[in-house]
Each structure stands twice: as structure tokens, then as C-alpha cells.
Amino acid sequence: MQQPRHVPVLLEEVLEYLNVRPGGVVVDATLGLGGHSAAIARRLGGQGRLICFDRDPEAMALGRARLEALAEELGAEMPAMEFVPMAFSEGLTRLKPRSLDGLLADFGVSSLQLDGAHRGFSFRADGPLDMRMDTRSGETAEQVVNEAGEEELANLIYEFGEERRSRRIARAIVRARPISTTAQLAQVISASAPSMKGDKIHPATRTFQAIRIRVNDELGEIQSLLKSAGSLMKASGRVVLISFHSLEDRLVKDSFREAGREKRFEMLTKKPVVAAEEEQLRNPRSRSAKLRAAEKV
């Protein structure tokens, strides 16, 4: 299976804050294409254990192939691996309490998803309105766009997209229905709420983000992880989370601060860690990444 180009974001910072040690047990809650997990596996060694979750079947297949190829290279120095093809909100409940030395989650949409027009995540290439990370089940973006009421659409675009012109956009979407492709939706949004002076992003960006978050219940997934993390970590176990927009980062920040006040975790990052200029130039998608880390007390 041919591997697409993949640059894991904040890789050195992830390894530093996870503090991966030989023989440890680490969960990668968002395997993706396996870049982070491959680096973690090298540090865990033959006595370690690496558990990988991903609800995207396409990503799971490619990430697993990357790690299995690494296993051929490392031989006995490769940790035991487990691949769990499901959302981490469900998968984490299967783990034993106080069983983990490290937990990593990268909440970003992967290049595989964004660049595949058939997945419908991006308006930059025309494709079907899908946006599901798990393509085997669940409501599609097309269903949300065409079946939600105008007020419901406006509210989700405002709440999940932080889009000030949400009501205008929702009204235009309802009038233009049925809408079945990413290009159609982007055109409707752009016509109803064109770019204003100083805008650095496409006028459809926030609305696409909002619909994607709704389709995949992304914030609910993060809340489930934050709720589970405390009971799963061993003493001195570390949680490292990478967010890509303010809604995600706020959930992580608030949860870590509360855990710190209650003396359950110690925050290792007073401010979010961001990519260095060199990485941002090499990988533009790293520009919005924010890493926060905490250690179980």
C-alpha cells in the first residue's frame, strides 16, 4: 500500500512532553498516517506496548501499514502493537484504569482527509458532501445541509464555526437546497457572505468547519477523552493533546486547569506550545497547531 506524504506536526515536542520510556504503555488515540506512532514505537522498544485508535478505516489501514513496515525494520526492538478501528471515545473505555504511561491525541483533520476530494472535507476540490471520519456509519454533511432547519443551521455555524454571518449563510443554504457537493456549498456561502477586506481565509472555511464538527461530534469526542484520561493514567503518566482551533484548545485548557486545581494533574505547559517558524515553513498546516501537556500526580 503506497503511503501518502505525511509530516507529523510538532513531532519533537510530542516526544519531549510524552517522555516515552522503554517498556512503557502508550496510546495514540488518533493514529492517522502513523507518523507520531512510528517515532513513539522506536522509543518504547521491544518490551513496550503501543495501542492505536482511529475511526477512519482508510487512515487506519495506512497507519497500520506504516507501523508494520517499521516492525520489519526493528524486529525484536518493536513494541507490541494493537490496532483498534474505532473512535477513541469508545475505545478508551476498554482500557484498564491506571494502565497508561502516555496518551497522545492529535485532533487535526489529516492530509489524507483534506486532500481526498471523495471525502468531502474541503471546498478546494469538488466532491460529495460527506465529511464523515468513519465512512461506515453516521449522518453525512449532505444530510445536515439539506435536512436541518434554518435556525439549527445558523446556530451550529455560529457555535462550531464562530462565524458572525451565520444567519445570512444559513438562509442562503436553505434557499439553495438541495445541495450535494462541496463546490455547490462553497459557492452558496461565498455568494451570501463574500470575503471582507483583510480576510485571510476563504469565506466558506468556518462553515465547513462547523458542519464537520457536527457530523463527527468532534467536541463530544474530546470531552470523552478528557473525562477518561485521569482514570487511565499511571502516576507520572502524561497526556499530550494537539488542537487546531479555539474550540478544541479551550476544552483542553479548561480541563487541564481544573485537574490542576484539584491536584489530579500538573500542567506542563502554562501556554500552548506552537510550531517553530522552520516547521511552519516546512509544513504550513502546523501553523494553527497548539500542544498542551499534563502529568498525572
* Residue at which a domain ends, from 157, 186, 216: 216
Q: Give the pairing of strands 49-53 and 80-84.
A: parallel
Whether residues 284 and 226 fall in one domain? yes
Q: Minimum mean pLDDT among 32-41, 45-54, 88-97, 221-230: which range?
A: 88-97
pLDDT given at position 172: 98
* Residue at which a domain ends, from 191, 216, 241: 216
Whether residues 168 and 236 fall in one domain? no
In a domain, residue 5? The reply is no
Whether residues 98 and 68 fall in one domain? yes
Tell me if 90 sits within 8 A of 96, measured CB to CB. no
Residue 188 has pLDDT above 80, yes or no: yes
Residue 230 has pLDDT above 90, yes or no: yes
Residue 258 half-sphere exposure toward CB, CA atoms < 13 A: 9
If pLDDT is split at 50, 70 and 90, which confidence band does 290 have? very high
CATH number at residue 136: 1.10.150.170
Residue 173 has pLDDT above 60, yes or no: yes
- Number of domains within the chain: 2
pLDDT given at position 4: 54
Residue entry with cell 457536527: 214
In a domain, residue 193? The reply is yes
Whether residues 201 and 60 fall in one domain? no
If pLDDT is split at 50, 70 and 90, which confidence band does 3 have? low
Length of the chain: 297
Residue 200 has pLDDT above 90, yes or no: no
Whether residues 100 and 228 fall in one domain? yes
Residue entry with cell 502524561: 238
Query: From CA 264, how far away is CA 259, in angstroms rounded?
Result: 5
Question: How much is the mean pLDDT over the chain?
Answer: 94
Whether residues 86 and 134 fall in one domain? no
Whether residues 130 and 195 fall in one domain? yes
If pLDDT is split at 50, 70 and 90, which confidence band does 199 have? confident
Whether residues 71 and 147 fall in one domain? no
Query: Is the pTM above the cut of 0.75?
Result: yes
Query: From CA 155, how far away is CA 115, in angstroms rounded?
Result: 28
Task: Kindly provide the b/e burial profile for residues 164-183, where b requires at least 16 CB atoms within 10 angstroms of the residue's own CB.
Answer: ebbbebbebbbebeebebbb
The one-character DSSP state at 65 is H
pLDDT given at position 238: 98
Find the domain containing 55 and state its range. 11-112+218-296
pLDDT given at position 5: 60
In a domain, residue 249? The reply is yes
CA geometry: angle 134, 294, 55, nearest 5 deg: 5
Query: From CA 7, how far away is CA 15, in angstroms rounded?
Result: 15
In a domain, residue 3? The reply is no
Q: What is the pLDDT of residues 115-138, one digit of tens each?
A: 788 898 999 889 999 999 999 989
Residue percentage of the chain with pLDDT more than 90? 87
Whether residues 105 and 246 fall in one domain? yes
If pLDDT is split at 50, 70 and 90, which confidence band does 220 have? very high
* Residue at which a domain ends, from 182, 216, 250: 216
Whether residues 57 and 96 fall in one domain? yes
Query: From CA 3, how far away is CA 172, in angstroms rounded?
Result: 40
pLDDT given at position 1: 47
How are the residues of the chain apportioned to helix, strand and coil, as percentages rounded to the nearest 5?
A: 50, 15, 35
If pLDDT is split at 50, 70 and 90, which confidence band does 257 have? very high
- Angstrom CA distances, 65 to 2, 38, 69, 80, 82, stand at 9, 11, 6, 15, 13
Tell me if 282 sits within 8 A of 7, measured CB to CB. yes
In a domain, residue 2? The reply is no
Whether residues 130 and 267 fall in one domain? no
